[in-house]
């Protein structure tokens, strides 16, 4: 069975485009995962995307995860609430001065509490200053991402409130997939 999926591409073209969200109440911290860890990255990917049809990376081997995570400039920033991983943002710089927010989201138990806007604000700011942490990399000229109609119900609104603007829309037919949950067979 196929379903209609709308994919929206959004961008910021200057650091001043970012409209930060306030930090949430309580003990919420955002920390860069500086040691490439396929196990941890796969956990974040499946825990955040398990209920919203993220399946494209589930078939990657350990070596493929490692190869991606060790590319110069790839960064994973993790939000923690009281020491527990709540969500993450993954940045992937490109040679043209663009930085893509490849993945962003929260584990279901942490959604709707103000953490997402804060994490997106923080991650976007880190995309803009990424060259400061990677000697030899040109300054960021553009931060972009895509989201789709399968993502969380507040995703698009969060991107727009953070100052991203729409630059492309695509509608396609895709095979409907089972939602794997955080791990195969677990459901949500």
Query: Cα–Cα–Cα angle for 103, 140, 114, nearest 5°?
Result: 40
CB proximity list for 14: less than 8 A, separation 6 or greater: none
CA dihedral angle for residue 7, residue 12, residue 13, residue 18, rounded to 10 degrees: 180
Q: Where does residue 168 rank: exposed (0-12), middle (13-18), buried (19+ CB within 10 A)?
A: exposed
Q: Which pLDDT score, from 0 to 100, does residue 185 have?
A: 47
Strand 98-106 and strand 142-148: the pairing is parallel
d(CA 129, CA 50): 30
Query: How many CB atoms within 10 Å of residue 5?
Result: 15
Judge whether 128 and 140 are in contact, CB under 8 Å. Answer: yes
Q: Where are the domains of the chain?
A: 2-175
pLDDT digits (tens), the chain, 188 positions: 888 989 999 999 999 999 999 999 999 999 999 999 999 999 999 999 988 888 889 889 999 999 999 999 999 999 999 999 999 999 999 989 999 999 999 999 999 999 999 999 999 999 999 999 999 999 999 999 999 988 888 899 999 999 999 999 999 988 876 665 555 544 44
Q: Which pLDDT score, from 0 to 100, does residue 186 have?
A: 47
Strand 2-12 and strand 165-175: the pairing is antiparallel
Query: Phi, psi at residue 154, to the nearest 5°?
Result: -105, 5
Q: Give the closest residue to 79 by CA, choosing from 52, 49, 53, 104.
A: 104
Query: Is the CATH number of domain 2-175 3.40.630.30?
Result: yes
């Amino acid at each position: 069975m196929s379903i209609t999926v709308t994919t929206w591409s959004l961008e910021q073209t200057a650091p001043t485009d970012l409209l930060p969200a306030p930090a949430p109440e309580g003990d919420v911290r955002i920390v860069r995962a500086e040691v490439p860890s396929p196990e941890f990255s796969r956990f974040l990917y499946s825990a955040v995307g398990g209920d919203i049809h993220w399946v494209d990376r589930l078939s990657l081997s350990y070596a493929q995860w490692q190869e991606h995570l060790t590319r110069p400039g790839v960064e994973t920033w993790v939000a923690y609430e009281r020491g527990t991983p709540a969500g993450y943002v993954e940045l992937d710089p490109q040679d043209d001065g663009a930085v893509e927010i490849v993945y962003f989201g929260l584990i279901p138990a942490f959604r709707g509490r103000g953490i997402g806007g804060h994490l997106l604000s923080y991650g976007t700011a880190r995309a803009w200053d990424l060259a400061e942490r990677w000697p030899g990399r040109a300054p960021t000229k553009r931060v972009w991402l895509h989201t789709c109609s399968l993502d969380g119900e507040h995703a698009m609104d969060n991107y727009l409130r953070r100052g991203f603007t729409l630059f492309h829309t695509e509608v396609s037919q895709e095979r409907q997939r089972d939602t794997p949950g955080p791990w195969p067979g677990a459901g949500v």
